[in-house]
Amino acid sequence: MRMRSPIPKKHARIEIIPLIDIMFFLLASFMMVSLSQTHMKGILVNLPKRDAAPPPPDQPKDFVAVRVTAGNLTYFDNTPINDADVLPRLYELHQKNPDLKVSISAEEQALHGDVIQLLDRVRKVGIQKIGYQIKAAQAQGAPGTVPPPAPAAPPKPK
């Protein structure tokens, strides 16, 4: 005869919740250990202060941007200059700093001869360091620029 045991038989179960807790603990532990082993290496940089004063006025200027626009208007650092005052201004800047660098740019509508005339004046003064900006001045949103004419729309077929 077969008798049942008075002790109920329990089936084994695998509980997933404690397993998930252990996995999260291990993940967090590995992340903390890996972050603590990372050594940040960098270069020390002296950043300018917000309230930094501009350079003293007695210090000679070492760079000037000259722009030629349509109608032979000349701008020195976005300040318009009369055509007759360009050469004296260049002499004055060159006297203050013989190593002056000049960056010449021209708008699309400026004449080639006007730019060459400015280049001749810069060389006449004795400035040796001359650069050319090939990006159109009007793309930078410079004051006094004239937008190019809009391209004509092609005729619609009938």
| Residue at 39 is within a domain | no
| Residue at 82 is within a domain | yes
| Residue at 20 is within a domain | no
Global pTM reads: 0.49
| Residue at 92 is within a domain | yes
Residue 82 is part of a domain; what is its CATH number?
3.30.420.270
Helices 112-125 and 86-96 pack at an angle, to 10 degrees, of 40
Give the domain range for residue 118.
63-138
Least confident of 3-17, 50-64, 80-94, 108-122: 50-64
Domains identified in the chain, total number: 1
93-106 tens-digit pLDDT: 888 888 889 999 88
| Residue at 41 is within a domain | no
17-62 tens-digit pLDDT: 989 999 999 999 999 888 877 776 777 888 877 765 666 666 667 8
Please count the other Cβ atoms lying within 10 Å of the Cβ belonging to residue 29: 10
